[in-house]
């Protein structure tokens, strides 16, 4: 890692894996990275959340529960770190401060921020607790899903490639997952998303940086149902 350039607008990209369903998500795996608009990665983190992962009743409803043995193996081999949620939060906040991060981003930022808020409230038993402290209230939010739906999935060739490769939902809508985006961007139609925190962050950074570098006029920020944009025609 080189010297931090205070003139640069650093971005924190985060991804979480959760249990508890969509209405009550609790984070058991989190990855985050410091990056910039060009997609250069400065630092990364990958943590398993102790209070959630080791709670068998909670993990029984994990969406990707079939991956639990992989996590157990990684933990036993020392390739994944298990820490308490609040310790991870402290590291997250310190990294944001270290780089004076201007933007917080995730592929589905609405969900990720909901999961982090829900988890800190579960851990602290404080119904109004926030993941980010008030000192970081001015940080900008950028949803990568919204970004790529405006920029990548509206490209004229995307619909043709998506239909040809079966990237279409049962309802007939073009799929707009990060996995599909990475397949389209790289041409690797067999790519499979890991659905693990840091591994997913790394592909999301590539999607984000590509979309930003197109300098296309867009709404930006965070908005609901971005998948509708490439499915309007």
How confident is the model over 4-15, as pLDDT tens digits? 887 789 999 999
b/e 200-209 (16+ beta carbons within 10 angstroms → b): bbbbbbbbbb
Q: Check pLDDT > 60 for residue 2.
A: no
Residue 174 is classified by DSSP as B
Q: Give the C-alpha distances (Å, rounded to integers) separating 127 from 45, 121, 123, 150, 188.
A: 27, 6, 10, 35, 44
- Taking a C-beta distance cutoff of 8 angstroms, is the pair 221, 141 a contact? yes
Three-class DSSP category at 217: coil
pLDDT tens digits for 91-147? 999 999 999 999 999 999 999 999 999 999 999 999 999 999 998 888 999 999 999
- Taking a C-beta distance cutoff of 8 angstroms, is the pair 217, 154 a contact? no
What average pLDDT does the segment 212-223 reach?
Answer: 88
Q: Check pLDDT > 60 for residue 204.
A: yes
Separation of alpha carbons 218 and 52, rounded Å: 38
Q: Which two tokens stand for residue 62?
A: 């994990």
Q: How many CA atoms lie within 13 A of 151 on its CB side?
A: 22
pLDDT tens digits for 57-101? 999 999 899 999 999 999 999 999 999 999 999 999 999 999 999
What average pLDDT does the segment 161-184 reach?
Answer: 97
Give the domains, in start order, of the chain with CATH numbers.
11-140 (3.30.420.10), 145-231 (no CATH)
At residue 219 the predicted structure's pLDDT band, cuts being 50, 70 and 90, is confident
At residue 40 the predicted structure's pLDDT band, cuts being 50, 70 and 90, is very high
Residue in 183, 205, 201 with CA at minimum distance from that of residue 112: 201
């Amino acid at each position: 890692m080189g010297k931090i350039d205070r003139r640069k607008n650093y971005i924190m990209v985060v991804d979480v894996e959760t249990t508890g369903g969509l209405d009550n998500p609790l984070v058991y795996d989190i990855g985050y990275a410091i990056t910039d608009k060009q997609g250069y990665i400065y630092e990364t983190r990958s943590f398993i959340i102790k209070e959630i992962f080791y709670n068998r009743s909670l993990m029984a409803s994990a969406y990707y529960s079939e991956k639990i043995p992989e996590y157990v193996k990684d933990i036993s081999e020392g390739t994944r770190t298990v820490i308490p949620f609040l310790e991870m939060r402290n590291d997250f906040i310190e990294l944001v401060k270290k780089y004076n991060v201007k933007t917080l981003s995730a592929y589905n930022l609405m969900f990720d921020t909901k999961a982090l808020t829900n988890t800190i409230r579960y851990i602290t038993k404080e119904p109004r607790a926030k993941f980010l402290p008030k000192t970081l209230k001015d940080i900008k939010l950028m949803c990568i899903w919204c970004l790529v739906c405006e920029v990548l999935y509206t490209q004229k060739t995307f619909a043709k490639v998506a239909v040809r490769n079966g990237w279409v939902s049962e309802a007939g809508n073009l799929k707009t997952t990060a996995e599909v985006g990475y397949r389209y961007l790289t041409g690797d139609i067999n790519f499979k998303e890991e659905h693990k925190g840091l591994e997913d962050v790394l592909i999301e950074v590539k999607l984000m940086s590509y979309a930003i570098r197109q300098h296309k006029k867009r709404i930006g920020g965070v908005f609901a149902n971005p998948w509708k944009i490439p499915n309007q025609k």
